[in-house]
Structure 1
Amino acid sequence: MRILIVTHVVRKNDGQGRVNYEIVLAALAAGHSVTLLAAEAAPELVQHSQVRFVQVPTSRLPTKLLQYQMFAWRCGAWIRAHRNEFDVVHVNGFIAWARADVNAAHFVHHGWYRCGFYPFRLLHSLYHAYQVIYTLLNIACEKWAFRHAEVIVPVSQKVAGEVRALGIGEARVQVIHNGVDTGEFTPGAPERARFNLPQAPFMLLFAGDLRMSRKNLDTVLHALVRTPPDVHLAVAGILHNSPYPALVESLGLTQRVHFTDMVMDMPALMRSVDAFVFPSRYEPMGLVLLEALSAGLPVITVRTAGGAEVIARGSGIVLDDPNDAAALAVAIEHLAREPDYARRLGLAARAVAGTLSWQVMAERYLSVYEQVHARRTSRELPAACATASAEL
């Protein structure tokens, strides 16, 4: 097949970019040719003989709102000019003003806006007003993009529900969970000294954006106050402009919370802790949650996190309310006080991750491509025969 993938970035160290990166690798291994219409692509892909990289220049317009619209306009114009060169056109959400065969839904702004935890208010400030306008515009654009794609591929059942809420029929929706590198994220010897973590305490890990309330570190900190003093927390994420160091100090947790800032070697950090906590107030399908499962960590998460749906009974703890610090504290203490229970959860988590490898994910995307291509071929063949008959 001749495949076109349209995205902003295709590389390993990016969430959505990693998904597309793995799809490209699988497509090349299967003998397909791939064109990447993107702003940036990994050098090892660009240099491959079966890859064509069409770079879309980054706009210098002010605000991401205008920059993304310019990107979508440029991509749409290119696709319309070259559509007949491809058997499958794969886009990611709203990224181009053009029809597509496959649209991978990694995030649905309508779901985020309606989830109950959306933090912005139109009349609160200029910044809030901009965020609301940005979200509402994305909602309209995503509706258009989903309605102009043959198949929508949500990254979780949670996202699938949000796609259907936009009026998309069930028959056009095929869920494919994101993948994880089960060879890279694996249990192993801890390296706490490398991350300036104390050796003795039971160590939780929280990883995510520390500038937004959506990831819900505040509830984790309030839960930590309710746990014994020998339970500590490592926090991985960019600290610049984060309000959480001040909150840690106000709660009297300075000796128990260890900020690592951005960590490039997340597998080593995960091997150095005892459990992973991820009570995100809204999450389509967090890669970091899958990575924790693969690392064999007992995981505590919540139903508002899309990744929670892959956790079967006995392979993790899934709480109902992301804001319930008391329930979170009980779950944390259960793990800290019962090492055999924590160990069983970790082993089961690792088994779950084994069913969610990047290879499994990529092969499922290729299967969708083949279905789309087969349907397109079956539609075009009668038309071609009719044209040939008319000419005779």
Structure 2
Amino acid sequence: MRILIVTHAVKKNDGQGRVNYEIVKAALAAGHRVTLLASEAAPELLDHPRVRFVPIAPSRLPSRLLQYQMFAWRSGAWIRAHRDEFDIVHVNGFIAWARADVNAAHFVHDGWYRCGFFPFRLLRGFYQAYQVIYTLLNIVCEKWAFRHAEVIVPVSQRVASEVGALGIDASRMQVIHNGVDVDEFTPGPAERARFGLPEAPFMLLFAGDLRMSRKNLDTVLHALVATPANVHLAVAGILHNSPYPALVQSLGLSGRVHFTDMVMDMPALMRSVDAFVFPSRYEPMGLVLLEALSVGLPVITVRTAGGAEVITSGSGIVLDDPDDAEALTAAIVRLASDPAYARGLGQTARRVAATLSWQAMAERYLAVYAQVYAQRHAQAVPARATASVKL
């Protein structure tokens, strides 16, 4: 097949970019030809003889809203001019003013806006007004993009429900969960000293953006107050402009919460803790959750976190309410007080992750491509036969 993939970046150290990177690798291994319509692509992909890179220069317009619209107009114009050159056009959400065969839905702005935790208000200053306008415009654009695609691929059941709320029929959707590098994120020896962590305590890990309330570190900290003193928390994320160090101090947790700032070697940090806590108030599909499963960590998460749907009762604990600190405390205490139970969850978590490798994910996308391709050709045959009869 001749495949066109449209996205801002195709590279390993980027969430959506990594998904597309792995799809390209699998497509090339299967013998397909791939064109990348993007602003950035990994050099190792561009060196391949069956890869064509069509760069869309980043716009210099002020604001991400205008920059993304410019990308959408430029990429849409290019697609319309070259559509006949491709068997499959794969886009990612709203990224081009053009029809597509496959649209991968990684994030749905309407779901974020209506989830109950959207933090911005139109009349609370310029920045918040901009965020509201940006979100509302994206809702309109995403609805258009999903309606102009043959197949929509939500990255979780949560995202699928949000796409459905826009009026898209479930028959047009095929959920494909994001993947994880099961060879990089693998169980192994702890290196706590390397990260400045004490050796003795039961160590939880929280990883995420420390400037965003939706990641819900505040509930983790309030839950930690009610746990035994031998339960500690490692927090990985950029500390600049974060309110959480002050909250830690006010709660009297300074000796039990260890901020590591940004960590480049996340697999090593995950191998150095005992459990992963991820009570995000809103999450389409958390890659970090899959990474924790792959390392073999018992996971505590919540139903509002996309990805929780892959966790079985034997591989983690899924809570109902992200703001229920008492329930979170009870889950933490259960893991910390029962090593055999925690170990069993971790072992099952690793087996669950094995079904969610990047290769498995990419092969599912290729299967969708093949399905769309076959259906188009099946429809074309009767059309050609009818035309021959008329002649």
**What aligned pairs does 1:217-228 form with structure 2 within 5 A after superposition?**
217-228=217-228
Q: Distance in 2 between matches of 1:225 and 1:75?
A: 51
Show the counterpart of 1:181: 181
**What aligned pairs does 1:140-155 form with structure 2 within 5 A after superposition?**
140-155=140-155
**Deviating more after overlay: 289-298 vs 237-246:** 237-246
Q: Distance in 1 between matches of 2:174 and 2:285?
A: 15
1:325-374, CA deviations, whole angstroms, 9 ceiling, x for partnerless residues?
A: 11111111111111111001101111111111111111110000001111
Q: Is 2:262 the partner of 1:262? A: yes
The amino acid of 2:152's aligned partner reads I
TM-score, normalization by structure 2: 0.98
Gapped regions of structure 2 (runs ≥ 5)? none
Q: Distance in 1 between matches of 2:240 and 2:149?
A: 39
Show the counterpart of 1:48: 48
Q: Distance in 1 between matches of 2:8 and 2:378?
A: 32
Show the counterpart of 1:10: 10
TM-fit CA distance, 1:381: 3.2
Tell me how many residue pairs correspond in the alignment. 391
Show the counterpart of 2:192: 192
SS in 1 for 2:254: coil
SS in 1 for 2:350: helix
Show the counterpart of 2:301: 301
Show the counterpart of 2:85: 85
Show the counterpart of 2:376: 376
The amino acid of 2:48's aligned partner reads H
TM-fit CA distance, 1:261: 1.0
Q: Distance in 1 between matches of 2:207 and 2:28?
A: 33
Show the counterpart of 1:30: 30
SS in 2 for 1:214: helix
Q: Distance in 2 between matches of 1:296 and 1:306?
A: 19
Q: Distance in 1 between matches of 2:235 and 2:78?
A: 43
TM-score, normalization by structure 1: 0.98
Q: Distance in 2 between matches of 1:114 and 1:175?
A: 21
1:33-76, CA deviations, whole angstroms, 9 ceiling, x for partnerless residues?
A: 00010111100001111111111100010110000000101110
SS in 2 for 1:306: coil
The amino acid of 1:381's aligned partner reads V
SS in 1 for 2:215: coil
The amino acid of 2:277's aligned partner reads V
Show the counterpart of 1:63: 63
**What aligned pairs does 1:206-221 form with structure 2 within 5 A after superposition?**
206-221=206-221
Show the counterpart of 1:171: 171
The amino acid of 2:213's aligned partner reads S
Q: Distance in 1 between matches of 2:125 and 2:249?
A: 28
**Deviating more after overlay: 245-254 vs 82-91:** 245-254
Q: Distance in 2 between matches of 1:385 and 1:241?
A: 66
**Deviating more after overlay: 244-253 vs 361-370:** 244-253
Gapped regions of structure 1 (runs ≥ 5)? none
Q: Is 2:98 the partner of 1:98? A: yes
1:139-174, CA deviations, whole angstroms, 9 ceiling, x for partnerless residues?
A: 000000000000000001111111111111111010
TM-fit CA distance, 1:251: 1.2
